[in-house]
Amino acid sequence: MKPFDRLSPDPARAALVVILAFTALRIVFAALLGFGVDESYTLGQARHLSLSYFDHPPLHIWLAHAAMKLFGTSWAVRLPFVLLFAATSWLLYRLTERLFGAPAGLWATFSLNVSVFFLASPGTWVVPDGPLLFCLAAGVLALARLFFPGEGEHPSVWGAWSLAGLAFGLAGLSKYSAIFVVAGLAVFLVATGHRRQLLHPAPYLGALIAAVVVSPVILWNMGHDWASLKFQAGRGGGKGLTLTAFAQMVVGQFVWLAPWVAVPLAYAGVAAFGLIRDPRRLFLIALGLPSIAYFTLQSLWSGWALPHWPMPGWFFVFPLLGLWLAENPDAKPSPAAWAKWCAGLAFGLAIGLGMIGATGLLTRLGVPARADPTLDALNWSALRPALTARGAGGVGGPVVAGLTWNEGGKIDLVIGDAAPVIVLGTDPRGFAYRQDQRAYAGRDVLIVALAGTYRRFEADLASQFDVLGEPELLSIGRSGRPELDLVIVRARGLKSATPRALASRS
């Protein structure tokens, strides 16, 4: 508590101050940093409303669509995601307070917000993790009130399970990995005296509500040969034992969490196993462990995995860290000193990266562009006037084509409101599903790609057009300094009716 006494002697008020401070930081960070590859792709897809989408369920894309109606493609489309994470932080406080008391809730809330991943990705960016965590936290809190009522509380079993079903359904509309938290909940019910809940009809009403809420995802997949589910399931395909990928996955999680947060977080999680007979600790372990264990171990046989995949599991470890910090104020190093360092590093990293992203400072200091961690967040805004000068967006103008889904997302963000954008490469992702590509057969096309990407595809592209023009160079960057070389190629007579594997090399 001591580090937060200056904020307020009331832990709830102190938690609100912490949340407001980090929300303000995220708004500054959001305003400084351009859109990353995933965000650019998402915002382009969000122009086209659909029951669901190829890469992910639709909730974050629906939210982005609404934000774009208000803010266009400015940084402010991130505001709903920033505010949603502020609400998620408050839900975590309330959950931890119920399980372990208000001081633990305050520590858990602070720890969550100083973690690099939760500060940046679900807390600021237009990605599915933000809505996912909010919905999971809401559903779990509804059931925590039922499982662990306070003195004099008599929660409605019907109300708790109905709210949880709605929240978990919305979590399923956010990201497929919500299933791991729901599976952990089922394990907790079966393993404890709360299994008697399964004799009541309320949990089944909640399951029905969740199924109805998530039905757009099922309907979309049924109409598209289960493409999205096949894609996600295929990412865990076997490649034999790969210890290197496993090591990278473990290290990647610690880097994303921030090592100064990851070490005490992992310690608190492991220490909780020693007291697993406590139903409150078991509740959190059951919710968090399936995501962490599956995605970490999956890297052993898949050959790769992304370190942010297990993060919904780590989210439910933060109450355990909050409890440990509240119970050990005299630990060495001091939790109070640790809190000051974490807050300073979080604010310094966010403002520092934001300033680098806004100004291209590293490039100006002579650092090679490829070494700039913010280069992916460079908006390709200068591309729009170059394309409109070549007829894109005019009546009967050319189609604009990228050669990879991630470059296609960058292109789509800047011109997709004015001209149709397709992807002709081996991996078009959502571009293959949002419009009838056969309509573009025979059309003129402006191909846009990074110079290196175009060199890989050039030989194969020649056979896909009647005429493939010469590449024109366009350099883009920040503060007037070129950092990326794009090429624009005018091609006539598109022969392919749909996006297909135009290149044997990718």
Whether the pLDDT of residue 241 is over 80: the answer is no
Residue 370 within a domain: no
Do residue 214 and residue 328 come from a single domain?
Answer: yes
Indicate the pairing of strand 445-450 with strand 481-494: antiparallel
Q: Which amino acid is at 351?
A: I
Residue 317 within a domain: yes
**Of 312-321, 356-365, 414-423, which range is least confident?**
356-365
Do residue 340 and residue 452 come from a single domain?
Answer: no
Residue span of the structural domain in which 98 resides: 2-232+242-348
Whether the pLDDT of residue 357 is over 90: the answer is yes
Do residue 298 and residue 420 come from a single domain?
Answer: no
Residue 49 within a domain: yes
Model confidence band, residue 233 (pLDDT cutoffs 50, 70, 90): confident
Do residue 330 and residue 387 come from a single domain?
Answer: no
Residue 427: predicted pLDDT: 83
Residue 421 within a domain: yes
Residue 367 within a domain: no
Model confidence band, residue 168 (pLDDT cutoffs 50, 70, 90): very high
The alpha carbon torsion through 440, 445, 447, 448 (nearest 10 deg) reads -90
Do residue 6 and residue 128 come from a single domain?
Answer: yes
Do residue 337 and residue 391 come from a single domain?
Answer: no
From 348, 366, 394, give the residue that closes a domain.
348
Whether the pLDDT of residue 138 is over 90: the answer is yes
Model confidence band, residue 240 (pLDDT cutoffs 50, 70, 90): low
- Residue 70 CB neighbour total at 10 angstroms: 11
The mean per-residue pLDDT over the stretch 294-307 comes to 88
Both ends of the chain: CA-CA distance in Å?
54
Residue 162: predicted pLDDT: 98
Q: Which amino acid is at 475?
A: S
Domain total in the chain: 2
Whether the pLDDT of residue 180 is over 70: the answer is yes
Do residue 306 and residue 394 come from a single domain?
Answer: no
Do residue 13 and residue 130 come from a single domain?
Answer: yes
Whether the pLDDT of residue 500 is over 60: the answer is no
- DSSP structural state of residue 397: P
Is 166:210 a contact under the CB 8 Å cutoff? yes
Sign of CA dihedral 338, 141, 5, 329: negative
Between CA 292 and CA 178, with CA 191 as vertex, the angle to 5 degrees is 35
Residue 279 within a domain: yes
Residue 37: predicted pLDDT: 96
Do residue 258 and residue 133 come from a single domain?
Answer: yes
From 348, 370, 401, give the residue that closes a domain.
348
Do residue 327 and residue 462 come from a single domain?
Answer: no
Model confidence over 389-402: pLDDT tens digits?
Answer: 999 988 889 999 99
Is 87:16 a contact under the CB 8 Å cutoff? no
Gap between the Cα atoms of 282 and 320, Å rounded: 10
| Burial of 373 from C-beta contacts in 10 A (0-12 / 13-18 / 19+) | exposed
From 295, 326, 348, give the residue that closes a domain.
348
Residue 497: predicted pLDDT: 40
Do residue 390 and residue 316 come from a single domain?
Answer: no
Indicate the pairing of strand 445-450 with strand 472-478: unpaired
Token pair belonging to 266: 């992992």
Model confidence over 97-133: pLDDT tens digits?
Answer: 999 999 999 999 999 999 999 999 999 999 999 999 9
Residue 292 within a domain: yes
Do residue 318 and residue 407 come from a single domain?
Answer: no
Model confidence over 14-49: pLDDT tens digits?
Answer: 999 999 999 999 999 999 999 999 999 999 999 999
Residue 236: predicted pLDDT: 65
Q: Which amino acid is at 340?
A: K
Residue 239: predicted pLDDT: 64
Whether the pLDDT of residue 216 is over 50: the answer is yes
* β-pair partners for 250: none
Mean pLDDT of the chain: 93
Residue 357 within a domain: no
